[in-house]
């Protein structure tokens, strides 16, 4: 397989000569959109697509809805793609290793297990010394904490539960602790998505196999199974607990909010695993919370959270959704919430832990007068990271390696790379552009007209029209770094008499959302849209507008792999909308996305789910050349 190649196309000889005049750079940098407009439009675009809670009045109606939602989420989201289903169906391999001394009343057993074939998870089992006839079990998950399973607050939680007779499995999270490697960076899970394999599957399997291990313990009580975690661990908790009914008590801590809330509060916009492709076409996190009904849930949030999911905005919509369902079950008391005020920041410290112990006592040990929710001091029993390290295979797989393996022999059937299939993958809307002049300016011999283009009813994108002297044809210019970076290309085009339409599609340049651009692109993907489809549809809409307005079918010049892929997909979808494509700094092989080890945070539109499964650049070019 040939290596990834980025190559520069010098479409005009003047490109590498004299630098563009500063006046041109100033015109291209002139702001056109209102401040914050892209973020507002992204919120509005996604809000209407998030499913709301159904209006159900009977228990049977709710159970039918919840069962279907659970099946759909698992089958169509978590285990999407044939390979993800193979991972799901593989047998769990567990290797028990040595034990280390814990403290009074418990020991720590080291183990590792395969979340999927070749991907091992290190874990620690905190096991009570005195086993009851039936023993509650607890899965301890954690969030974006580089220390991982060795985080003191996590150890203390496991120790305290073990001292109360509860076996606690402390598992490492992908990308943290011992698994804190470049290949496990969460934004690389989307490399699997590109191949048509759910990048969410490894996350879910690491949790579900942890439950398998706990429930296989001698004397494990399947009626008393708890999961708890902070932040990303809170996300893990709601995800596994809502979709795996073996969990009977869930305590997510400052870990999630509704997709509607996330759109309104930028601090809540979650990483790739929290905002997976198409989840919000099946369920919102409000639904997942309500799906805990019939079991027990403690929703813990922090009053002054300095990270995300602050109590005042994150918690109320979840309670509003779940309370009626718990009442339908006749168990309103099994849904509880706790708001931490001391310290009130992003934490799972003693106040939040004691809330968990109290819930565990009420649900797992009802009527036990000897059960105390007060934390047992155990700081001296906290171990170092080195003491808790678990040996792992040197060739342990990660997201990047899994994606490279999945990409072999892709695309599957180039003969089936049809325009209809491409439209299905990118979910490309059909847009029209409505133009509004936003001013104009002349500098030296260059004239600029600033346009706001309303794209359908969804987006507004900025466009700078530039002319100099006699005009001979039209060219649209799009660049990965935004139109303000394209001065050299624009100057070369102006020098040959072209009218230049310097455009920033959504998620690019002025139409980006700052440091949160890729998170908004993920949000669009989770409600069933694709950044690649949105941007390519915008390019075609602008091309149609330009042809009608200036009586000239525009060529499309792109600078960079992102916009070049957008332009190529746009041409493949609508070959007659634009003229010749003239890309530079583009990629000639979509496998190069993987070989270059790019992430969705850098190039969000390039990770369109299943694109490489069905297409590579030659197939896209063939469609672009056909005008049938």
What b/e sequence results for 470-485 when a residue is b if at least 16 CB atoms lie within 10 Å of its CB, and e otherwise? eeeebbbbbbbebbbb
pLDDT for the residue numbered 18: 62
Question: Does residue 235 sit in helix, strand or coil?
Answer: helix
Is the residue at 352 inside a domain? Answer: yes
- Which residues, other chains included, contact 314 with Cβ-Cβ below 8 Å and sequence gap of 6+? 254, 256, 257, 258, 261, 265, 268, 301
Whether 11 shows a pLDDT value over 60: the answer reads no
For residues 291 and 329, what is the distance between their CA atoms, to the nearest angstrom? 11
Q: Region 355-373: what's the mean pLDDT?
A: 97
Is the residue at 471 inside a domain? Answer: yes
* 466 and 478, same domain (yes or no): yes
Domain boundary among 407, 437, 457: 407
Point out which residues pair with 249 in neighbouring strands.
Answer: 226, 296
Q: DSSP character for 310?
A: B
Its pTM stands at 0.95
* CATH code for the domain in which residue 587 is found: 3.40.50.1820
Is the residue at 7 inside a domain? Answer: no
Mean pLDDT of the chain: 95
pLDDT for the residue numbered 176: 98
For residues 253 and 310, what is the distance between their CA atoms, to the nearest angstrom? 11
* 35 and 174, same domain (yes or no): no
Is the residue at 12 inside a domain? Answer: no
Is the residue at 53 inside a domain? Answer: no
Q: What is the tens place of the pLDDT at every residue in 398-453?
A: 999 999 999 999 999 988 899 999 999 999 899 999 999 999 999 989 999 999 99
Q: How many domains are contained in the chain?
A: 2
Neighbours of 609 (CB within 10 A): 26
Contact criterion met (CB below 8 Å) for 128 and 103 = no
Q: What is the tens place of the pLDDT at every residue in 192-249?
A: 999 999 999 999 999 999 999 999 999 999 999 999 999 999 999 999 999 999 999 9
What b/e sequence results for 156-178 when a residue is b if at least 16 CB atoms lie within 10 Å of its CB, and e otherwise? bbbbbbbbbbbbbbbbbbbbbbb
- How far out from the chain centre does Cα 476 lie? 31
Whether 6 shows a pLDDT value over 60: the answer reads no
pLDDT for the residue numbered 585: 96
Is the residue at 11 inside a domain? Answer: no
Task: Look at residues 563, 495, 561, 506 and name the one whose alpha carbon lies nearest to residue 40.
Answer: 506
Q: How confident is the model at residue 617 (pLDDT cuts 50, 70, 90)?
A: very high
Element (H, E) at 106: strand 106-116
Element (H, E) at 531: helix 531-550
* 482 and 556, same domain (yes or no): yes
* 343 and 448, same domain (yes or no): no
* 403 and 419, same domain (yes or no): no
* 481 and 596, same domain (yes or no): yes
Element (H, E) at 437: strand 433-443
Can you give the residue range of the structural domain that contains 505? 20-48+410-625
**104 or 7: which carries more pLDDT confidence?**
104
pLDDT for the residue numbered 3: 43
* 434 and 550, same domain (yes or no): yes
């Amino acid at each position: 397989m040939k290596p990834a190649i980025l190559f520069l196309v010098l479409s005009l000889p003047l490109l590498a000569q004299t630098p563009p005049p500063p006046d041109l750079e100033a015109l291209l940098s002139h702001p056109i959109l209102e401040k914050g407009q892209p973020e507002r439009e992204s919120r509005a675009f996604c809000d209407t697509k998030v499913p709301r809670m159904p209006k159900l009045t009977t228990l049977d109606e709710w159970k039918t809805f919840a069962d279907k939602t659970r099946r759909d989420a698992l089958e169509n989201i978590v285990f999407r793609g044939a390979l993800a289903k193979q991972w799901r169906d593989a047998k769990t391999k567990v290797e028990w290793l040595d034990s280390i001394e814990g403290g009074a009343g418990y020991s720590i057993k080291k183990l590792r297990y395969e979340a999927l074939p070749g991907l091992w998870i290190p874990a620690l089992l905190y096991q009570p010394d005195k086993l009851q006839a039936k023993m509650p079990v607890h899965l301890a998950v954690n969030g974006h904490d580089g220390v991982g399973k060795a985080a003191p607050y996590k150890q203390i939680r496991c120790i305290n539960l073990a001292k109360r007779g509860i076996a606690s499995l402390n598992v490492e999270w992908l990308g943290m602790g011992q698994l804190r490697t470049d290949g496990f960076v969460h934004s690389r899970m989307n490399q699997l998505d590109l191949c048509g394999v759910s990048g969410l599957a490894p996350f879910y399997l690491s949790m579900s196999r942890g439950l398998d291990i706990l429930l296989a313990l001698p004397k494990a009580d399947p009626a008393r199974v708890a999961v708890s975690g902070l932040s990303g661990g809170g996300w893990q908790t709601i995800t596994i607990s809502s979709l795996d009914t073996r969990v009977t008590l869930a305590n997510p801590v400052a870990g999630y909010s509704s997709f509607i809330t996330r759109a309104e509060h930028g601090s809540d916009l979650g990483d790739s695993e929290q905002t997976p492709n198409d989840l919000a076409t099946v369920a919102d996190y409000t639904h997942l919370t309500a799906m805990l009904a019939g079991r027990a849930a403690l929703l813990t949030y922090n009053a002054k959270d300095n990270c995300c999911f602050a109590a005042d905005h994150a918690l109320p919509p979840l309670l509003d959704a779940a309370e009626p369902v718990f009442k339908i079950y006749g168990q309103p008391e099994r849904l509880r919430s706790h708001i931490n005020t001391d310290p009130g920041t992003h934490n799972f410290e003693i106040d939040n832990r004691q809330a968990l112990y109290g819930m565990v006592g009420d649900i797992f040990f009802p009527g036990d007068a000897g059960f105390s929710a007060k934390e047992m001091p155990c700081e001296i029993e906290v171990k170092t990271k080195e003491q808790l390290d678990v040996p792992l295979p040197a060739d342990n797989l990660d997201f990047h390696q899994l994606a490279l393996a999945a990409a072999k022999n892709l695309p599957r059937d180039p003969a089936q790379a049809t325009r209809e299939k491409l439209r299905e993958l990118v979910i490309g809307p059909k847009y029209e552009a409505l133009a509004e002049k936003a001013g104009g300016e002349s500098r030296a011999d260059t004239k600029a007209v600033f346009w706001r283009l309303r794209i359908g009813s969804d987006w507004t994108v900025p466009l700078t029209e530039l002319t100099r002297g006699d005009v001979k044809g039209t060219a649209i210019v799009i660049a990965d770094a935004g139109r303000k970076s394209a001065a050299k290309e624009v100057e070369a085009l102006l020098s040959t008499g072209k009218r230049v339409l310097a455009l920033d599609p959504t998620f690019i340049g002025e139409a980006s959302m700052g440091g949160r651009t890729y998170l908004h692109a993920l949000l669009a993907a989770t409600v069933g849209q694709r950044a690649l489809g949105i941007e390519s549809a915008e390019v075609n809409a602008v091309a149609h507008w330009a042809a009608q307005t200036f009586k000239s079918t525009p060529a499309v010049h792109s600078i960079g792999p992102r916009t070049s892929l957008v332009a190529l997909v746009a041409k493949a979808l609508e070959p007659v909308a634009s003229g010749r494509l003239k890309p530079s700094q583009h990629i000639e092989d979509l496998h190069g996305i993987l070989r270059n080890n790019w992430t969705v945070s850098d190039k969000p539109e390039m990770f369109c789910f299943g694109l490489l499964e069905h297409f590579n650049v030659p197939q896209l070019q063939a469609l672009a050349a056909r005008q049938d």
